[in-house]
Structure 1
């Protein structure tokens, strides 16, 4: 008698689960499925469900998140309306970039790009920026996938633990794959909204590259009543200013991304919401988990550390966007509609589009610089006081960059820069005094330690000069030396 004939339908089902959840190849055995009818299970329905589970299981790597799912989803959305770039649009935007480059060189001392600006399709923007989105979202994706695994394992009854030993990896795969698909959908929708490479404020484009998306440029200018050539010149100038800044301050890109990842690593999934979801979760029907991810229901309120990290990030983004605004306004002063376009851009950045709001729900991060106007006012005050060269020099090193306090009170920053321009010593503050006192104390302790190591009686010994004695000669102290004195 074959081994399968000795088993009950319950044994067959448990063996099938062990093989499937253990990741064994060929886990779905049609002959085994046919014997499940004794349990009242429809073999056809069970086969369909397990095929879905097996498919999700096989698409993900053993560790990490399968970002191929995100890329496929993003490109599917981005390319739905075709490429949409005509040769005329390429020429017009190329001319706009050329003139904007000349104007920008009059407004900033930061040098030109070494790579020519380009036009991008929506799919091209996805290809260029997706690696950065993955880097920013990965801490959240891993947190959700691990929390889902832990929550589902806790929901399994004790008597079923042996049956579903391999379920942890499968559930982690399901959670990670769903998150990757959601990220891909968000990036795909973003590709239909952004007008240029730096439109979202983050350095998502490769360093030193500038680009405009003609498809979205047409949507941006619709119903504004502003000539397309003026819109193109303004947006090209703004994009070049953003790209020039990140190429000049090579440390800035890593600084921004590290601030975002620091915030993301502090995200912890709401375990109570996840446990409630896990108690009724069906891997073959993941729609409820997908909706929970998209709505942000699994992300709890921010901790104090996250709030502080977000404040630092917002100040940094405001400094970047404020500098870009001031330089762009100066470079496009010749445009009759420059002020109107600038206000449209600022309002658009302040509100954010639907895809940007979806990104905030997915990773708990809003990218809008709340202090943009204050930061721009600070940069204008600096420019008026010391000129463009000293203003742009603040991006040379991280320790020169203005702080949140400088945004609050530009007068103090202006005073320091003016003193430096005159060659005067900068005014001392409490930090300088505390540092000097600390250094003096360290020097005193080192000198005392050196004296204590001197041979002889402990404590401070008087020197020969302090005691009033003449230096000892080769003879005994105080005696005249033998032999004639030299003339």
Structure 2
């Protein structure tokens, strides 16, 4: 769109010269003055050059290949010797590659930061009327794609580390004895290469994602520090260009979504931890089916692997032999993650719609646009699907949204928001398919239990004590009846 309000501007406006200077300085700062393919570039090729061409590999030059590999590893410098470069995932490689994928970007202007603050402040006022959760925003900021990458990396590390580490341990523990004996001297290098491979896949996904996310919660996970609401002006400008809706309404709509997410993650203390720990739970169950590689190596002479590099290449290239297997426990963890993401998205969708429906005519169309955007997937889903076979895609957003709406209609705002009081009170996947049963349990049972489950337990115990006391009183009354005087007379 040509006229973005609140000072949001797509790249290429009247500030080109100043933006270009800032951009060049940022690019120089991020690369440390090094040229692509230099000592700090572990891949040795420039972005967009196409990288390594497998057809150019000459098996007769295996020694030269290992020599080049050694130079590559030793040339990584601080990236491999520091803590950020080692481990199951090489995050130095991931960060460098993601930064290359981002390329040039538009620096954030002061007017854009002010615009974010104004939009979030307005959205917060409207949200106050439709939820019992108070504002959770302490600061509103505008980020560039590079800032998003830097600020979100700690969360990505927490998500990826347990997965990669479990895969690495499983590989070492289950490698066939013959292969383990042969690979023993090379395990250190293979570990480094595995870390680089994970880092490469993660970096590619994050590089694409950094240019597409509109807010810090766009992928459903809390990627910004607690209490910080984030909008990315450059991505929002591109997003607005593809819609036939007023840009001002788009920005306030996105600000309201971000503010609603922040409220939920701030005032539901177990939610952030539950989302991240579910991924860790999934990772703990990872195992690898080595039957394929065992069959392939059973008749292979180790000397043949040394004399025939193509055979080694064939074994390494048989990725089907190394695919993680999914256990029932992992499937259950994945279902819980997808359901929880859907419940978060559905609650935000309903809350924002209620807050803006009388104020922004395009809220319905924008809500549907966000649904389609999430359903189509993107780099976040591709990254996780590639790394661990799981997707960050809530598959039942419509069902979750309908459940929250029906619960509000059957009760009130306090009843709906009270469900978030404890994770055990939350609906599960079956409840999304049968919302009526869940709603009847909330409304027809003890709604107060969603406000304070401990209070309900204490009330139940009090009722039991009252019933026991009543029973004792009845027994005493029976003892003091007509037969009591006769008893006293006999005693006399």
The separation in 2 between residues aligned to 1:340 and 1:135, in whole angstroms, is: 35
SS at match of 2:159: helix
Please state how far the C-alpha of 1:85 moved relative to its aligned partner.
Answer: 2.5
Aligned equivalent of 1:315: 339
Residues 412, 389 of structure 1: CA spacing in aligned structure 2 closer, same or farther, 3 A cutoff? same
Q: Deviations over 1:318-361 (max 9, x none)?
A: 11111111001101111011110000001111111245323322
Instruction: Give secondary structure in 1 for the equivalent of 2:87.
Output: coil
Instruction: Tell me if structure 2 keeps the 8 A contact 1:56–1:173.
Output: no
| Residue 117 (structure 1) aligns with | 140
Matched, 1:129 2:152: yes
Q: How many residues align?
A: 391
Deviation at 1:392, TM superposition (A): 1.0
2:239 corresponds to: 220
Partner residue of 2:329? 305
Return the alpha-carbon distance in structure 1 between the equivalents of residues 189 and 116 of structure 2: 49
Structure 1 segment 66-77 matched on structure 2, within 5 A: 67-73=90-96, 75-77=98-100
- 8 Å CA contact 2:98–2:207 kept in 1: the answer is yes
- Structure 1: give runs of 5+ residues left out of the alignment: 1-39, 425-431, 440-467, 469-477, 481-487
**1:89 matches 2:112:** yes
- State how far apart, in whole Å, the 2-side matches of 1:414 and 1:82 are: 48
Matching residue within 89, 104, 107 for 2:130: 107
Q: Kindly name which structure, 1 or 2, has the bigger radius of gyration based on alpha carbons.
A: 1
Inter-CA distance 415–50: structure 2 relative to 1 (3 Å threshold): closer
Q: Secondary structure at the match of 2:374?
A: helix
Contact in 2 for aligned 1:84/1:121 (Cα 8 Å): yes
Tell me: CA distance 1:91–1:168, structure 2 relative to 1, closer, same or farther (3 Å): same
Aligned Cα root-mean-square deviation (Å): 4.2
Question: What stretches of structure 2 of length at least 5 have no aligned partner?
Answer: 1-59, 450-456, 465-482, 484-489
CA gap 1:47/1:398 in 2 versus in 1, 3 angstroms = closer
Provide closer, same or farther for how the CA distance between residues 229 and 167 of structure 1 changes in structure 2, counting only shifts above 3 A: same
Q: What is the rounded CA distance, in whole Å, between the counterparts of 2:202 and 2:314 in structure 1?
A: 16
What is the SS of the residue equivalent to 1:210? strand
Q: Work out whether 1:411 is the aligned partner of 2:436.
A: yes
**Does residue 383 of structure 2 align to residue 358 of structure 1?**
yes
TM (normalized to structure 2)? 0.68
* Residue 52 (str. 1) matches residue 72 (str. 2): yes
Q: Name 1:234's counterpart in structure 2.
A: 253
Deviations 1:100-147 (A, max 9, x none): 111111111101124122111111111221111111112221234345
Partners in 1 of 2:186 and 2:149 — Cα distance? 33
Q: Distance in 2 between matches of 1:263 and 1:113?
A: 30
CA gap of 1:250–1:365, structure 2 versus 1, over 3 A, is same
Partner of 1:203: 222
- 1:456 match: none
Cα drift, residue 309 of structure 1: 1.7
How far apart, CA to CA, are the structure 2 residues paired with 1:288 and 1:82? 41
TM-score (norm 1): 0.69
Is 1:261 the counterpart of 2:286 in the alignment? no
Work out whether 1:346 is the aligned partner of 2:371.
yes
Question: Could you tell me whether the CA contact under 8 Å between 1:267 and 1:299 is conserved in 2?
Answer: no
Equivalent of residue 389 in structure 1, options 406, 414, 417: 414
* Compared CA separation, residues 313 and 277, structure 1 to 2 (3 A): farther
